[in-house]
Amino acid sequence: MAEAIPTSDKLIEENTDRADSFAPTSALSLRRNFSWTFVGNAVYAASSWGMLVVLAKLGDPEMVGQFALGLAVTAPVIMFTNLQLRAVQATDAKEDFVFGDYLGLRLLTAVLAFLVILAITLFSDYKAETVAVILAIGIGKVFDSISDIFWGFFQLHERMDYVAKSMMLNGIFSLVALSCAVYITHSVLLGAVAWSAVSAANLLTYNVPAALRFSSSARSSTGSYSLRPRLAPAKSFKLARLALPLGVVMLLISLNSNIPRYVIQAHYGEWELGIFAATAYIMVAGTTVVSALGQSASPRLAKLYGGGKGSA
Would you put residue 95 in left (φ > 0), alpha (ψ -120 to 50) or beta?
Answer: left
Tell me: the pLDDT tens digits for 86-107? 888 888 777 778 888 999 999 9
**Torsion angle of C-alpha atoms 257, 262, 264, 269, degrees rounded to 10:** 140
Give 20's pLDDT tier (boundaries 50, 70, 90): very low
Q: What is the pLDDT of residue 63?
A: 84
DSSP letters for 146-190: HHHHHHHHHHHTT-HHHHHHHHHHHHHHHHHHHHHHHHHH--HHH
Pairwise CA distance, residues 262 & 107, whole Å? 28
Return the higher-pLDDT residue of 137 and 228.
137
pLDDT for residue 132 is more than 90: yes
Kindly give the residue spans of alpha helices, DSSP state H, lying in 1-98: 8-19, 30-58, 61-82, 85-90
Report field, pTM of the whole predicted structure over 0.75: yes
Rounded alpha-carbon distances, angstroms, from residue 51 to 200, 250, 286: 18, 24, 19
Confirm if 160 and 154 have CB atoms less than 8 A apart: yes
Pairwise CA distance, residues 61 & 271, whole Å? 5
Tell me: the pLDDT tens digits for 251-260? 898 888 878 8
Helix (H) or strand (E) holding 298: helix 288-306
Look over the chain and give the mean of its residue pLDDT values, rounded to a whole number: 80
Exposed, middle or buried by CB within 10 Å (0-12, 13-18, 19+), for 123?
A: exposed
Return the higher-pLDDT residue of 277 and 80.
80
